[in-house]
Structure formats: structure tokens, C-alpha cells
Amino acid sequence: MKQLVLTLLLTAIPMQPQQRTQARSMVLSRNGIVATSQTLASQAGAMILARGGSAIDAAIAANAVLTVVEPMSCGVGGDLFAIYYDAKTGKISGLNSSGPAPAAMTIAKLKSLGNYSMPQDGIHSVTVPGCVDGWRKLHQRYGRLPWREIFQPARYYAREGFPLTEIIQDHWRNSVSKLNFSEYTRKTFLRDGRVPDVGDIIKNADLAKTLDTLAEQGPDAFYKGPLAQSILATSKKLGGLLTAADLAEYSAEWVDTIQTTYRGWTVHELPPNSQGVAALEMLNILETLPVNEYSHDSALAWHYKIEAQKLAYRDLQKYLGDPRHATIPLAGLLSKSYAAERAKLLDSEKANCDFNPGQPLPGAGDTIYLAAIDREGNIASLIQSVYLSFGSGVGVEGHGFHLHNRAGLFEFEEGHPNALAPKKRPFHTIIPALMEKGSVRLGFGIMGGLNQAQAHAQFVSNIVDHGMNIQLALEAPRFTKLNFGGCDVMIENRVPVTTREALTAKGHRLEVQGDFSGWMGGGQVVMRDYESKINSAASSPRKDGAAIPEPDPYFRPR
């Protein structure tokens, strides 16, 4: 019995080879593994593990490489969230490293500048970047290697170059107009006004110098030193509102995770201002329904999941904000009894196009996600983003990176929990996650703006309800709905035609996407059974990346 949970996760439903439905196999190792959206970043993290680094060292190193090789999705000008599992103590820690609006940014101020809604790009879409202080806090508490050493791979690729990969090049190509905002971003990220081709060698000497400064001078260089001065100079040139105090006073926040149970598993997310609560509410609703009695291809299982998403997301839209500035009915939203009441609104035969938010009782883009596990079983579940592709489009001149546009997620409506206010953090879409049962722990995450919470819930259901292993659960066809309300829903082409026809008959307006659609978000998973001491990992084929194991001792650098 003690191996039952691991067996369920390591083996899919028995199949003949010709009936295999997953595109990749899991990666298994007795050593650590790093899974990211780009292979060079995964390899860098794996080699940091081989040099004696912890899961956090590997995660930061891999994230730093991703700022070079996947610049439209992440960077030092963005925010970060993380969940860490300490194998020695069993403690789970959360870090919210999202930055607030400048002290001078108000709805009235933006209106006086001619804005009638929240800007989605440009300098007034910029909040304080939290990524670098997030790296600092994680490394101070859980790092082993010197700060300087974990930036060596990123510095190398920025200076020496790397070949541009397929999916990243496609995302890059969709951002040409934003990159043409300024001569600096055009010169840094385009070649004669066009996106580099797949396989072209990309170098970013300015970003290499930025990484040199961070590595040698430490995080204060970003918030109080030369990098801060350059950020402020760029902001001032464009009429921005950032001040030296906005940067110098910033500090990432350690937080406790929020959690729910789902058919015997415990699922952890981070609390608001991120959307993790929607994943947990969606799971609570699904737990009241017989989803586990149906196959993954069942139209009724798909119907229940889509309807549960709508219910959870209407609550997300109404209630989520920064808990330091607004009262969030978190306990009510996570209540099993509240989920049961919400589930009563579901009709098994008909899609509802306009659910209203519930009344919970008050209680006491573009993005990268990566997961790392070391040989001791410490797990880093980390997500980092500049929000929309290339963020605000504002490049910090001379430094090779751009600032995010997270202020674009504020509401422009006074009184809303997520209304713009000075020093307030906006609603955040990016969420890392962790789930556990018995001797098994999984760190996982799936990218893609509002896709993320619903993708988390579908991933958990794939494992718990449908008996999939972690690779199949990650890459199995999914749906996504990137708005609030309505019966439209995007769904991958791999969902059987008969299932799609049955969903259409229930009133769902399906927008059929490709077999492995980027709209569904790529993701990564690491897992460990603490009895067998075997690590495993999975990486989504919707991204360019892979899960790469730490080399065995024979192959490690001498």
C-alpha cells in the first residue's frame, strides 16, 4: 500500500505501445532535476545542482538564464512568486515578490494625464519590479552557493549568445510593434526591424553588463544603486511616476500558503493578490461533483470543469485585490460549504453563460514557470513574469531589459478591491503551486495569464480523478477561458470530436485550437516520493523546454 500513490503517479493506465497518448516520458532520477521552458535554462539549473547548489540556487540560476533566452516572458524588470518545500523540516514557505504602484500613482493623476482606463503599456503601466528582491530573499534563506556563482550561466549566454528556439521566436515575432516603441528596444531586440530567425545566435551585451552588476554588487544595485538610477532616468524621460523611494523601500513578503483538500490530496497556492484562490475554489466545487466517475474524454467531466471555472472566476473578478489595502473574504471563498452552494447552480445538461458572483461569508500573459528539486528533496516552485509580452515595452536604456506592465491589471474604478492606489499591489495572474499526499510532494505550475488557475485545477483533476502520471496530466488536452462570463471557451483539437459535439449541444461555444495550443499554457512539474527517494519531473510540449536531471557523480565537474 505504501507504494500505491507513487505507482499511480509514475504509471499511466496500462496501454499497448501503439495506444500511447502522451508526447513525452517523465524524467526520473535519484538526483535533482530542473524543469523550465527552455533547455539551456534547465541545463544551467541542473549543473548548479551538480556544483552543490540547493533547489533555490538552481531555480534562481535557471530564472536568470531565462531572462536572457526568453526575454519577452520574464526579466529583472518583472515580478516573482515562489513556494518552497524544505525536506528537512517539512515546512512549506511562500514568497510574494510583486511590486506596488508608485506612491504618486493615483486614478486621479492618470486621468489628469489623459487616461480613461488603466494603461496596458508605456511608463504608466509600470509598478515597482519585485523579481530581484525575490531572488535575494530566497537565496538568503535557502541558498548554498555564493550569490555571484549562480549568475554565471546567464552572464555567459548574454555575452556569448544562444540559438533562438522555435516557440520563443514565435512569441517574439508577435511583439514587433511594441519593440518598435523606441529606438533602444528596436536596436536591442530586433534586427533591421524584424525578429531574428530560429537558430540565429542572439547576444545582449547590455543585459550581460546588468547581470554583471547584479552578481558583483548584489541586489541593492537594482533598488538603490546604478541600476536604480538608470530605471529612474528612463522613467523621468518618459514622464513616469517612479521615485528613488519607491525602489529603495521595496521588500518582498514571506507569506503562508493557502490550501484546500481534494479527494485526499492537499493543494497549496499563494494568497491574494494572486489568483491561486480561484484554483482552490474551482477544486472545491469539483469535489462536490462526480468528476472522478468519468473518463477524461467524457463530455460531462469537461462540462463540469468548464462550469466550475466560470463560478470561481466570477468570484475572482469581484473579490480579488491586495489584502493590505482591501478586505478579501478569503476564508469564505475557500469554504467547502460555500463551494457546495455554488455547485448547486450547475446544470448538468446546459451551459450557463452568465453566472453571478457569490456571497462568501467573511472570514477571521507572458510568463515563465520553473520547478527544481535537489537530491535531498527540497522543492522550489517558482514563477516569474513581465506580464504581457515584453511587458510595458519600456526598455531601460543601456541595460538590455524592459519593465513590466503589471499596473495594467488594476481596476480604474474607485472602491473596487483591485482599484489603483498608491503603494498598492495589483491583482496578479502568476501562481506557483504544490500538492501533497502521504510521502509524495509535487511542485507544479502552468503559465498563461488568466489560464493559470483553471489549468492548475485541471492538472490536479487529471492526476486525482483520472489516474494520469505527471507528464500525461501536464500535456493532456485542456480548455481555457480568458474572460469573465459568456459561454465561449477555447479547447484543444485533441479533445475527441464526439466530446466536442456533446459540449456544443449543452450550449458551450467552442473555439477549437491546435493540438498543443499556447493558449493553454506550458508548464513544469517536479515530484518526489520521500520513501523511495526517487525524483521525477515533467515538461510541457507547449514550450521549448525540458526537464533535465542533475548529472550523476561521474559526470560532475571535478
The C-alpha R_g of the chain, in whole angstroms, comes to 22
CA distances (Å), origin 488, targets 141, 314, 329: 45, 15, 28
- In this structure, the dihedral spanned by the alpha carbons of residues 296, 298, 304 and 309, taken in order and rounded to 10 degrees, is 50
Catalytic residue among 367, 429, 480, 499: 367
Degrees (nearest 5) of the Cα angle 468, 471, 475? 95
User: Rounded distance, CA 523 to CA 273, Å?
Assistant: 21
Residue found under cell 540560476:
61
Residues with Cβ within 8 Å of 286's Cβ and at least 6 positions away in sequence, in order, are 262, 304, 305, 308, 457, 461, 465
Amino acid letter, 512: V
Q: How many other β-carbons are positioned within 10 Å of the β-carbon of residue 529?
A: 21
Q: Is 367 a catalytic residue?
A: yes
Task: Show Cβ contacts of residue 162 under 8 Å, excluding neighbours closer than 6 positions.
Answer: 40, 68, 69, 201, 202
Sheet holding 546-549, edge to edge: 253-255, 92-97, 79-85, 379-387, 366-373, 33-36, 546-549
> How many angstroms separate the CA atoms of 137 and 42, rounded?
22
Residue carrying C-alpha cell 468548464: 306
At how many degrees (to 10) do helices 39-50 and 55-69 cross? 150
Q: What is the DSSP string of 179-236?
A: HTTSHHHHHHH-BTTBPPPTT-EE--HHHHHHHHHHHHH-THHHHTSHHHHHHHHHHH
The whole-angstrom separation of Cα 113 and Cα 111 is 5
| Element (DSSP H or E) covering residue 340 | helix 336-343
Contacts of 207 (CB under 8 A, 6+ apart): 67, 68, 71, 158, 399, 400, 401
Coil vs helix vs strand at 38: strand
**Cβ neighbours of residue 501 closer than 8 Å, sequence gap 6 or more:** none
Closest among 367, 313, 309 to 522, alpha carbons compared? 367
C-alpha 550/C-alpha 55 separation (Å) is 11
Distance CA 447, CA 66 (A): 14
Joined together, the cell numbers standing for residue 478 give: 485542456
Contact 361, 332 (CB under 8 A): yes
Catalytic positions, written as ranges: 367
